């Protein structure tokens, strides 16, 4: 399959994104003096902005790539929940499976930016696990959509949606319906995702799972990833290694591609872009080499832009053609 064919196939791919959604809020201003009340800067507020965050940003990336994402998540029955829903609609995202949790507030992360530097982040969230009745509602939503989708993404931020029991139920449902599963894990549920198609921790998460420091060589990280793949009985593990590129470890062996030379501006959101491209490649059934190459390229492109932004499909396509990433794959 060449790159043009693959990108056309992206447009016909329906993806269910099951995970924690949130609002990313930004307060921009200038700083020229220190407060007389405490040794902190005074920010003269100039602008406010609200964006989709968490699993909703993954859905934005998928939409930008031409796919059809469906968000399945929970939100509070509050003002911020309404903002979240309206942002989804504004960006053309399907919200039929966005369920109200009347016992929690919508997650909001507010960043205070002064003179182009982040000074403070304020998190408004509740991370307690959803109760059994809400878990059933979420599972029913997934079950009602399972026959329509080509791939399912678990986007876990440990905010309470993805309980161990819900994870097991959804994995069993996907296997029953032969739907591939891609996981972006966090620490709490790291080893709950048994038998998935692609498991995508970053380097920090991979090392943290086994309580290992950050001094490992790339060769040692490959061995660690192979061990964790066996523990999880996953088809493959993909791990991003920052300046050392990306690896995919499967039963067939290990793919390691170096990072492309980039002018890194902001790494925020790069993981979401990598995950989105990888999920679409898994749905298309391409080789691990091509999956790694395109995902690696996507992460690098996003790192050259300020803030959390979705991947630009045309830019990714252009660079993929220029670098001939599909050659031999």
pLDDT, residue 324, reads 79
For residue 21, give every residue at least 6 positions away whose Cβ sits within 8 Å of its Cβ, in sequence order, or none. 52, 53, 54, 55, 56, 71, 73, 74, 75, 84, 98, 107
Three-class secondary structure assignment of the chain: CCHHHHHHHHCCCEEEEEECEEEEEEEEEEEEEECCCCCCEEEEEEEEEEEEEEHHHHHHHHHHCCCEEEEEEEEECCHHHHHHHHHHHHCCCEEEEEEEECCCCCCEEEEEEECCEEEEEEEECCCCCCCHHHHHHHHHHHHHHCCCCCEEEEECCCCCCCCHHHHHHHHHHHHHCCCCEEEECCCCCHHHCCCCCEECCEHHHHHHHCCCCCCCCHHHHHHHHHHHHHHHCCCEEEEECHHHCEEEEECCEEEEECCCCCCCCCCCCHHHHHHHHHHHHHHHCCCHHHHHHHHHHHHHHHHCCCCCCCCCHHHHHHHHHHHCCCCCC
pTM: 0.93
Question: Nearest-CA neighbor of 308 among 46, 22, 17, 12?
Answer: 22
Cα(252)–Cα(232) distance, integer angstroms: 16
Question: Nearest-CA neighbor of 151 among 170, 169, 123, 126?
Answer: 170
Of the candidates 24, 101, 184, 272, the residue annotated as catalytic is 272
Q: Is the pLDDT of residue 289 over 60?
A: yes
The two tokens of residue 77 are 């029955």
What is the mean predicted confidence (pLDDT) over 281-295? Answer: 95
Alpha carbon 309 to its chain's center: 12
Q: Is the pLDDT of residue 268 over 90?
A: no
117 phi and psi angles, rounded to 5 deg: -120, 135
- Considering the chain, what percentage of its residues have pLDDT values greater than 70? 93
**CB-count exposure of residue 66 (10 Å: 0-12, 13-18, 19+):** middle
What is the mean predicted confidence (pLDDT) over 2-10? Answer: 90
**Catalytic residue flag (residue 184):** no
The two tokens of residue 22 are 């949130």
What would the pLDDT profile of 155-200 be if each residue is shown by its tens digit?
Answer: 999 999 999 999 999 999 999 999 999 999 999 999 999 999 999 9
The two tokens of residue 158 are 């440990």
CB atoms within 10 A of CB 189: 17
What would the pLDDT profile of 47-75 be if each residue is shown by its tens digit?
Answer: 999 999 999 999 999 999 999 999 999 99
Instruction: List, in order of start, the domains of the chain with CATH numbers.
Output: 3-323 (3.40.1190.20)
pLDDT, residue 305, reads 61
HSE value, Cβ hemisphere, 13 Å, CA-based, for 266: 12
Q: Is the pLDDT of residue 308 over 70?
A: no
């Amino acid at each position: 399959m060449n790159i043009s064919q693959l990108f056309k196939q992206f447009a016909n791919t329906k993806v269910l994104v099951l995970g924690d959604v949130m609002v990313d809020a930004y307060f921009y201003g200038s700083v020229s003096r220190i407060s007389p009340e405490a040794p902190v800067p005074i920010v003269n507020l100039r602008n406010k902005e609200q964006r989709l965050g968490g699993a909703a940003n993954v859905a934005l990336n998928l939409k930008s790539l031409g796919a059809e994402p469906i968000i399945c998540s929970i939100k509070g029955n509050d003002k911020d929940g309404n903002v979240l829903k309206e942002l989804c609609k504004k960006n053309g995202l399907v919200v039929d499976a966005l369920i109200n949790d009347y016992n929690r507030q919508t997650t909001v992360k507010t960043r205070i930016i002064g003179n182009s530097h982040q000074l403070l982040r304020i998190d408004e969230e509740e991370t307690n696990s959803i109760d059994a009745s809400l878990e059933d509602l979420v599972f029913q939503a997934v079950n009602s959509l399972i026959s329509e989708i080509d791939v399912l993404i678990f986007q876990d931020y440990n905010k309470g949606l993805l309980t161990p029991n819900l994870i097991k139920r959804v994995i069993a449902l996907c296997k029953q319906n032969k739907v591939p599963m891609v996981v972006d894990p966090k620490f709490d549920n790291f080893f709950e995702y048994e038998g998935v198609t692609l498991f995508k921790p970053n380097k920090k998460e991979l090392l943290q799972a086994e309580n290992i420091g950050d001094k490992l060589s790339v060769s040692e990280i490959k061995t660690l990833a192979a061990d964790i793949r066996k523990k999880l009985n996953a088809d493959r593990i993909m791990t991003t290694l920052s300046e050392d590129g990306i690896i995919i470890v499967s039963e067939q062996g290990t793919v390691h591609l170096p990072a492309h030379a980039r002018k890194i501006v902001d790494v925020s959101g790069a993981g979401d872009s990598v995950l989105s491209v990888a999920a679409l490649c898994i749905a298309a059934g391409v080789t691990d080499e091509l999956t790694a190459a395109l995902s690696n390229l996507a992460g690098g492109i996003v790192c050259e832009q300020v803030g959390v932004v979705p991947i630009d499909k045309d830019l990714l396509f252009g660079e993929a053609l220029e670098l001939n990433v599909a050659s031999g794959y």
